[in-house]
Structures are given as structure tokens and as C-alpha cells.
């Protein structure tokens, strides 16, 4: 074991898979010689050369479509979107093309494509460079969606995503890039299966389910709730948004009887509401109190530090939501 940054873990997964399978190649803006705006792809150009590490023009719809085409004939492209927000200039190629090809053709073709990049707020990038995208990607069947929080899960899930025969959105978070965590030594394969959640903290009073960066805020909130109120929160890391591991989730709620889903994408038609709807569909008897969700406030993220803190579903807001749900208990 050793500790690395989240960035390093992603970089390793790409490098190892590119060594393992020559069909894997990388495309995106500044991903080559510069090593990526956030330096996630550093040194890959040096090792694999310009054939397999391609600096593109600012033509997302074009290169996303080309990646889809290459995947249709057996390549395994990894496309970096510099900011996940830019999915909006290539939405057709992602949702109408890559995600649907397998189904529309009755299974005649596959699209083993990885779309990766960072999303999220907290660094004052404002409305067009901070929105979380997992709930939008989850609306289109045919594409898998993962949003790991730790370096270990990031590396393990990216390896799985690259080997998966479907388009996979691999969602990073700008607040996680320099966080550190344990990773098996180089050489040891790290694989985390897509579609498996992970209990990151045991507890009995309430199940707090989250993923990506807000999971860290959830864990911090859980610690403070323990210290300040003796409340014992179980924190489940969804890790994969599509497919959703309801089994792990319901097992936790069976213990706690209470569920709060937290995510940074919009509440409206978000994954939190989806989780609430699912449990009432599939296992309402597990709940001792109404299941709840907490998402981003219904605004596009403002730039000012003070305004950003106000609307993000972070520790302060998570604690408030939990206390509201446990009032009867706490009281």
C-alpha cells in the first residue's frame, strides 16, 4: 500500500490500460503535450506518442463522434471533456448516438467509450464551469455513470470503465483532485466493479447516501453529528449512479430506517429524488420516516465565494437536513 492523489490514481489507470490494450487511446483538448489542463494525463504523450494521445481542436461534438465511430469498430477511446459542463456542446453524440447504438441496432454493435472529466463547484468557476452532471447522464439508458470519491475507487472504477463494452461517463470532481488516499502498490491490479456501492462509515440512526465530492462533506458531517449530538450516521458511497446498487442501499436502510440522499447536481429531477422514488417503489417498509434528498439549490452556481457556500449541499446544509429528519429522535 501507498498513498497517492486522486489525479495520480486516474493517470495510473489510463497508463496501465493503455499498456495492456493497444486499442485504448486518448483524445481531448490539451491532453497531450501539456498533459491536460488539470494535469491528469501528464506524461502519457511522452510514453504513448501522438498516435494514441491526441490533442484535438475545440470541437467536442466532432471528436466525441469520432470516438464513438472508433469504438464502433473495436477501439476503446477515452475522451476527456475539460469540464464536464461541455457535454452540452456534444450532447447529441453522447446521448443520441453513443448511448443508443447498441439498442437501436438490436445489439449488432457496441460502443466501448469512456467519457471522463471533472465537474462540480467549490472553486469559484461559476455557472458554466461548475455544474454537476451525473443526474443528466442518468436520464439516458445505454450509458453507465460512475462518480468515485477516493483515489482507490477512482483507479478501480476507471479500469472497469475502460474494459466495459458500453459508454461510461467517468465523473471526477475538481475538489477531489488533490485529495490523497491509499492505493495498492504499482503492478497490483486495482479493479472496482461498476454498479457496486460501498459503506464508507457504519452507523445505526440514519443512512446518508452520496458519491463524488459531497461524500467527503457527508463524512465530515457525520463526524460532527456524532460529536455534537451523538447521532450515529451510516454513510454509503454510491460510486456508480447507473446502474444503481439498491441492494447495498436497502441493506443499510434496513438497519437505520432512515434515508437521506445527498448530491451536488440539481435537486429537480435529480438522482436524490430518484433514490427516494425507488425505495418507495421497492422497499417502503424499510422506512421509519420519510426518505429525503438534498441537492444543489435551484440556481446555477454563482462565482462569489460567499454565494457558492450558501447554495452548495455541503456539510452545513447536510447537518441541517439530518437534524430536521431526526428531530423526533434527537428530541
Ligand X SMILES: Cc1ncc(C[n+]2csc(CCOP(=O)(O)OP(=O)(O)O)c2C)c(N)n1
Interface residues toward ligand X, by CB under 6 A: 29, 58, 60, 82, 86, 89
Q: Is 231 helix (H, G, I), strand (E, B) or coil?
A: coil
CA pair distance 132, 19, nearest whole angstrom:
31
Nearer to ligand X among residue 81 and residue 249 (C-beta)? 81
16 vs 60, beta carbon nearer ligand X: 60
Q: Are 167 and 194 within 8 A, CB to CB?
A: no
Binding mask 77-116 for its own copies (x = CB under 8 A): --------xxxxx-xx--xx--xx--xx------------
Residue 290 in grid coordinates:
420519510
Restricting to residues 237-276, which ones interact with its own copies according to CB under 8 A?
242, 265-274, 276
β-bridge mates for residue 235, sequence order: 201, 208
Residue 62 touches which member of another protein, its own copies, ligand X, none, C-beta under 5-8 Å by kind: another protein
User: How far apart are CB 331 and its own copies at their closest, in Å?
Assistant: 18
- Which x/- pattern, by CB under 8 A, does the window 19-58 give for its own copies? ----------------------------------------
**In this complex, which beta carbon is closest to another protein, that of residue 153 or of residue 164?**
164
- Residues 6+ away with beta carbon under 8 Å from 197: 209, 236, 237, 238, 239, 240, 245, 248, 249
Nearer to its own copies, 135 or 256 (CB): 135
Instruction: Examine the residue annotation and report whether 173 is marked as an active-site residue of this protein.
Output: no
90 vs 142: CA distance, rounded Å: 16
Q: How far is residue 87 from each of residues 47, 197, 267, 296, 323, measured CA to CA in Å?
A: 28, 25, 19, 19, 36
Q: Would you name the residues annotated as active-site residues?
A: 129
Amino acid at each position: 500500500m501507498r498513498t497517492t492523489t486522486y489525479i495520480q490514481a486516474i493517470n495510473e489507470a489510463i497508463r496501465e490500460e493503455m499498456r495492456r490494450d493497444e486499442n485504448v487511446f486518448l483524445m481531448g483538448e490539451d491532453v497531450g503535450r501539456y498533459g491536460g489542463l488539470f494535469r491528469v494525463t501528464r506524461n502519457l504523450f511522452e510514453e504513448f506518442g501522438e498516435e494514441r494521445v491526441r490533442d484535438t481542436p475545440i470541437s467536442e461534438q466532432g471528436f466525441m463522434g469520432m470516438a464513438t465511430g472508433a469504438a464502433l469498430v473495436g477501439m476503446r477511446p477515452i475522451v476527456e471533456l475539460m469540464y464536464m459542463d461541455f457535454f452540452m456542446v456534444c450532447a447529441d453524440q453522447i446521448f443520441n448516438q453513443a448511448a443508443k447504438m447498441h439498442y437501436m441496432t438490436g445489439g449488432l454493435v457496441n460502443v466501448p467509450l469512456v467519457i471522463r472529466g471533472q465537474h462540480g463547484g467549490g472553486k469559484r468557476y461559476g455557472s458554466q464551469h461548475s455544474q454537476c452532471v451525473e443526474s443528466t447522464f442518468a436520464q439516458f439508458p445505454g450509458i453507465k455513470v460512475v462518480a468515485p470519491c477516493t483515489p482507490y475507487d477512482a483507479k478501480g472504477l476507471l479500469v472497469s470503465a475502460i474494459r466495459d463494452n458500453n459508454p461510461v461517463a467517468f465523473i471526477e470532481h475538481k475538489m477531489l483532485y488533490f485529495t490523497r488516499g491509499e492505493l495498492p502498490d504499482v503492478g497490483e491490479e486495482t479493479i472496482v466493479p461498476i454498479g457496486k456501492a460501498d459503506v464508507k462509515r457504519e452507523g445505526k440512526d440514519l443512512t446518508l447516501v452520496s458519491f463524488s465530492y459531497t461524500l467527503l462533506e457527508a463524512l465530515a458531517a457525520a463526524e460532527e453529528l456524532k460529536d455534537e449530538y451523538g447521532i450515529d450516521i451510516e454513510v454509503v458511497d454510491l460510486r456508480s449512479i447507473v446502474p444503481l446498487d439498491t441492494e447495498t442501499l436497502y441493506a443499510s436502510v434496513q438497519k437505520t430506517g432512515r434515508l437521506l440522499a445527498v448530491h451536488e447536481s440539481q435537486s429537480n429531477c435529480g438522482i436524490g429524488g430518484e433514490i427516494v422514488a425507488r425505495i418507495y417503489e421497492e422497499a417502503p417498509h424499510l422506512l421509519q420516516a420519510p426518505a429525503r434528498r438534498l441537492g444543489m439549490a435551484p440556481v446555477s452556481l454563482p462565482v462569489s465565494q460567499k454565494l457558492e457556500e450558501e447554495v452548495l449541499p455541503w456539510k452545513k446544509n447536510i447537518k441541517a437536513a439530518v437534524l430536521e429528519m431526526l428531530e423526533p429522535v434527537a428530541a
